[in-house]
């Protein structure tokens, strides 16, 4: 069994630690204090880690040993009820070098929420320690005006909602802003009002595939795609680096869990590197227990094409031989907004047209 942490409620304490990137520079510093205020207004006590504003690291807030020590300390402390990561980043893999996930099996589980580089902690937390974790916003994600995605993240922490739907619109970061909205004036983030909603500029369109005879074919918009199993995954940039390391426990995990829904997204990968990374996961046997795939909008590869490779066939060409359903362009990952996902939880996922639903059991 993969353990589910206890839900939290106003009055509980939330620890904020920086296992990778932290709010030591603007606008993240100001965003942190705005997010802190939002959570305190909801009734939560915030416990700040010493790593938050450190700047002595190389490609990371501080020495990975220091970051790991605080992360493990926060996870084990009885006076901290949940942890929200201070940010994503680039080198959290160096932090988990100093984390003993086997030792976390005997610790009272608690919710940990973050995404992107935080895959380094959440994935082995599920696959080695056997504890669920939330792939969702880091602390800066709570600094904006709360809309459905932010309330959904809190609902997972508080256990007040069991079914989550995709959102109607998204923020395409590659669309040019109108000239009237462009400004070259520097922003003073210390006085900036972060209490603003997303600047939605595109309608969300899901692209689903059914795979038969070793080929992926786009599903009819009226056809419902359905899959049930344990949600698992995260950022492919990170996952591909974990393959073959001591943090790769997928062979054992697949022995014990036969139905896995892979929830994946990518950040810095081009269509080519994205495709190579997924091939790596497939060839290592990670997908041996797969029941289907839910794929988020990839940040760098989104809408890009390289010698015939794009963010669609980066996925379909690699996994179509498995004969499993694929839901693509889901609201998960680096292109806002994102549905927070409980990795390690049993769920039913359905998609029909542009409607995506994740229902937890």
> Can you tell me whether residue 323 is helix, strand or coil?
coil
pLDDT at residue number 190: 86
Domain membership of residue 45 (yes or no) is yes
Domain-embedded: residue 179: no
Phi-psi region of 349 (alpha: psi -120 to 50; beta: other; left: phi over 0): beta
Looking at the fold, whether 225 and 303 belong to one and the same domain comes out as yes
300 and 220 within one domain = yes
User: Which positions ≥6 away from 273 have C-beta within 8 Å?
Assistant: none
Q: Phi and psi dihedrals of 145, rounded to 5?
A: -65, 125
Q: Is residue 198 part of a domain?
A: no
Is 246 found in the same domain as 356?
yes
Same domain, 257 and 151: no
Q: How far apart, in whole angstroms, are the C-alpha atoms of residue 196 and residue 145? A: 5
In a domain, 114, yes or no: yes
State the pLDDT at residue 180. 58
Is residue 333, in this structure, part of any structural domain at all? Answer: yes
361 residues of the chain, pLDDT tens digit each: 899 999 999 999 999 999 999 999 999 999 999 999 999 999 999 999 999 999 999 999 999 999 999 999 999 999 999 999 999 999 999 999 999 999 999 999 999 999 999 999 999 999 999 999 999 999 999 999 999 999 999 999 999 999 999 999 999 999 977 665 666 778 888 889 999 999 999 999 999 999 989 999 999 989 999 999 999 999 999 999 999 999 999 999 999 999 999 999 999 999 999 999 999 999 999 999 999 999 999 999 999 999 999 999 999 999 999 999 999 999 999 999 999 999 999 999 999 999 999 999 9
Residue where a domain stops, chosen among 102, 128, 161: 161
Look up the CATH number of the domain holding residue 330.
3.50.30.60
Q: Report pTM.
A: 0.96
Instruction: Supply the range of the domain harboring residue 69.
Output: 13-161
321: left (phi over 0), alpha (psi -120 to 50) or beta: alpha
258 and 321 fall within a common domain: yes
Residue 103's nearest CA partner among 72, 82, 64, 63 is 72
Neighbours of 174 (CB within 10 A): 11
* Tokens (6 digits) for 272: 């080519």
Assess contact for 357 and 349: CB atoms under 8 A: yes
Q: Pick from 184, 171, 180, 183: which is nearest to 144 by CA?
A: 171
Q: Flag whether 5 is in a domain.
A: no
Residue pLDDT, tens place only, 99-126: 999 999 999 999 999 999 999 999 999 9
CA angle (349, 119, 33) in 5-degree steps: 105
* Co-location of 145 and 254 in the same domain: no
Which H or E run contains 299?
Answer: none
Could you tell me the CATH number of the domain that includes residue 129?
3.40.50.10740
> What per-residue string of b and e applies to 334-351 under the rule 16 or more CB within 10 Å gives b?
bbbbbbbbbbbbbbebeb
Do residues 88 and 139 share a domain? yes
Residue 106 CB-density burial (10 A; 0-12 exposed, 13-18 middle, 19+ buried): exposed
- Output the CA torsion 156→101→268→293 (10° steps): -60
- Which of 161, 192, 218 marks a domain boundary? 161
In a domain, 154, yes or no: yes
Strand-pairing partners, residue 215, are 212
**Which percentage of the chain shows pLDDT scores above 90?**
94
76 and 134, same domain (yes or no): yes
Which tokens in the block code for residue 359?
């229902």
Residue 340 lies in a domain: yes
pLDDT tens profile 64-83: 999 999 999 999 999 999 99
Contacts (Cβ under 8 Å, ≥6 apart) of 140: 23, 28, 31, 32, 35, 87
Distance CA 85, CA 121 (A): 10
- Are residue 95 and residue 208 in the same domain, yes or no? no
pLDDT, residue 186, reads 83
Q: Which of 234, 229, 214 is nearest to 92 (CA)?
A: 234
Residues 19 and 115 in one domain: yes
Give the largest Cα separation in the chain, rounded: 58
Return d(Cα 164, Cα 150) in angstroms, integer.
12
Regarding whether 324 and 220 lie in a shared domain, the answer is: yes
Residues 222 and 328 in one domain: yes
Among the candidates 126, 143, 161, a domain finishes at 161
Quote the number of domains for the chain. 2
């Amino acid at each position: 069994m993969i353990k589910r942490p206890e839900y939290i409620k106003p009055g509980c304490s939330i620890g904020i630690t920086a296992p990778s990137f932290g709010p030591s520079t603007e606008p993240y510093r100001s965003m942190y204090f705005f997010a802190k205020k939002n959570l305190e207004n909801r009734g939560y006590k915030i416990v700040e880690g010493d790593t938050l504003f450190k700047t002595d690291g190389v490609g990371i807030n501080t020495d990975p040993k220091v970051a790991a020590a605080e992360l493990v300390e926060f996870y084990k402390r009885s006076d901290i009820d949940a942890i929200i990561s201070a940010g994503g980043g680039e080198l959290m893999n160096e932090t988990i070098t100093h984390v003993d996930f086997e030792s976390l099996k005997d610790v009272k589980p608690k919710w940990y929420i973050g995404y992107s580089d935080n895959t380094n902690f959440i994935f082995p937390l599920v696959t080695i320690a056997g504890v669920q974790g939330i792939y969702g916003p880091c602390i800066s994600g709570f600094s904006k005006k709360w809309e459905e995605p932010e309330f959904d993240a809190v609902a997972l922490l508080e256990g007040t909602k069991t079914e989550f739907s995709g959102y109607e619109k998204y923020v395409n970061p590659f669309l040019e802003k109108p000239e009237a909205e462009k400004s070259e004036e520097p922003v003073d983030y210390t006085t900036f009002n972060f209490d603003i909603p997303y600047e939605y500029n595109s309608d969300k369109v899901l692209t689903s595939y059914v795979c038969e005879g070793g080929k992926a074919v786009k599903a009819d918009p009226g056809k419902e795609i359905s899959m049930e199993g344990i949600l698992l995954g995260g950022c492919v940039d990170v996952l591909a680096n974990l393959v073959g390391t001591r943090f790769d426990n997928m062979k054992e995990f697949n022995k014990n869990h036969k139905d896995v829904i892979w929830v994946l997204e990518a950040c810095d990968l081009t269509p080519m590197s994205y495709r190579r990374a997924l091939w790596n996961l497939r060839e290592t046997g990670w997908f041996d227990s797969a029941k289907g795939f839910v794929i988020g909008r990839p940040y760098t590869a989104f809408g890009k094409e390289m010698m015939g490779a794009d963010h669609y066939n980066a996925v379909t060409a690699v996994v179509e031989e498995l004969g499993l359903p694929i839901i693509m362009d889901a609201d998960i990952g680096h292109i806002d907004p994102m549905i927070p996902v409980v990795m390690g939880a049993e769920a039913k996922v359905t998609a029909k047209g542009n409607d995506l639903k994740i229902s937890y059991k």
